[in-house]
Amino acid sequence: MRIVFFGSPDFALPALGTLHGSHELVLVVTQPERPCGRGQKCLPTPVEIRARELGLQVITPRAVRTEAFARKISELKADYLVVVAYGRILPAAVLGAARHGALNIHPSLLPRWRGPAPVPWTLYHGEKTTGVTIMQMNEEMDEGDIIRQVSTTVSPDENADSLLCRLAIEGARVLGDVLAEEAASGEPLHRVPQDNSLSTRAPLLTTEMALIDWRKPAAEVASHMRAFDSRPGAYAYLGDARIKFFSPCVILATAPAGTVLGLTTGGLAVACGQDAVVTGEMQWPGGKRMPARNVLAGHPIPEKTVLRGRE
């Protein structure tokens, strides 16, 4: 099949690789270079880097809602557009520019967790099951008809980055299967409309939301830490110092919420509303993320200290 691929971050790379191996990628569309990192150096997206390594034609348009752009895509006479975390909402004129429209990989079981941050919200709510959805796109946010869904169990130690990486690989595999089946049959596969009454939203998480509520059960606090693991990091305060906490596990304990119980072999133990969490890694303000033992060697926190969280 002739395919135009839209994508930008690392999440899109497995799908790009799958399509390159079995279809004709006539064009790759990705976001323009933007300043990033501490040095604010302009860098290409991971998709642009990989696509150029593969010798593919790449464009980085600043405007995608113009007649000229829709015409350019239409002139390629693609069978499908495949959109994977491109980062912009595409208008109807672009979505309809390929013979069979546009497909999307979404890392949740739609209509649950529509929006830009489904994986963190899955972890934030402590859900045990998630999955990937292959969807026929329309102009609305993640509301297109479902073509295929595959579920998977969320491991207790997964954080947002590791789960997103796993779903990217699974989504690429399922997308490859869908396109292969459609090519073999010669007809579009069956589509099922989403039940909007079951939808939930997954907006971007904010720094304010990352503040830990030690009053919650330890299992919920651990889910909170895993959801915010990569950005911006779950945190609490010791005086004015904002300390970030990562890599949690739950232990049995009884003490007032937020009370430091001491350093264990697994990390720093902090009491919660029920039981306690042991955080294997920490980050002191201005420092790097490190094993909790290393952080506490330079910044000791005495037992019975109370860490200030959400009130």
Per-residue pLDDT tens for 233-283?
999 999 999 999 999 999 999 999 999 999 999 999 999 999 999 999 999
Interval 79-130: pLDDT, tens: 999 999 999 999 999 999 999 999 999 999 999 999 999 999 999 999 999 9
Please report the pLDDT score of residue 40 as a whole number.
Answer: 72
Same topology, domains 2-198 and 208-298? Answer is: no
* Mean pLDDT on 297-306: 97
DSSP classification of residue 211? B
Residue 148's pLDDT band, with cuts at 50, 70 and 90, is very high
Give domain limits for the chain.
2-198, 208-298
- Domain boundaries 208-298, corresponding CATH code: 3.10.25.10
Q: How far is it, in rounded angstroms, from Cα 270 to Cα 261?
A: 6
HEC per residue, the chain: CEEEEEECCHHHHHHHHHHHHHCEEEEEECCCCEEECCCCEEECCHHHHHHHHCCCCEECCCCCCCHHHHHHHHCCCCCEEEEECCCCCCCHHHHCCCCCCEEEEECCCCCCCECCCHHHHHHHCCCCEEEEEEEECCCCCCCCCEEEEEEEECCCCCCHHHHHHHHHHHHHHHHHHHHHHHHHHCCCCCCECCCHHHCCECCCCCCHHHECCCCCEHHHHHHHHHHCCCCCCEEEEECCEEEEEEEEEEECCCCCCCEEEEECCCCEEEECCECEEEEEEEECCCCCCEEHHHHHHHCCCCCCCECECCC
* CATH topology for the 2-198 domain: Rossmann fold (3.40.50)
pLDDT tens across 30-77, in order? 999 887 766 678 899 999 999 999 999 999 999 999 999 999 999 999
Q: Give the pLDDT confidence of 170-215 residue by residue, as tens digits.
A: 999 999 999 999 989 888 889 999 999 999 999 999 999 999 999 9
Average pLDDT of span 15-22: 96
Model pTM score: 0.93
CA distance 260 to 263: 9
State how far the Cα of 36 lies from the Cα of 9, in Å rounded to an integer: 13
Determine the 3-state secondary structure of 179 from DSSP: helix
What region, left, alpha or beta, does residue 90 occupy, with left being phi > 0 and alpha being psi -120 to 50 degrees? Answer: beta
pLDDT value of position 37: 64
The two three-digit tokens of residue 29, written as one number = 């569309």
What was the pLDDT predicted at 41?
81
Report pLDDT for 174.
98
What is the structure's pLDDT at 187?
83
Average pLDDT over residues 134-161: 96
pLDDT tens track for 279-293 = 999 999 999 999 999
Q: What is the dihedral of CA 177, 178, 180, 181, to 10 degrees?
A: 110
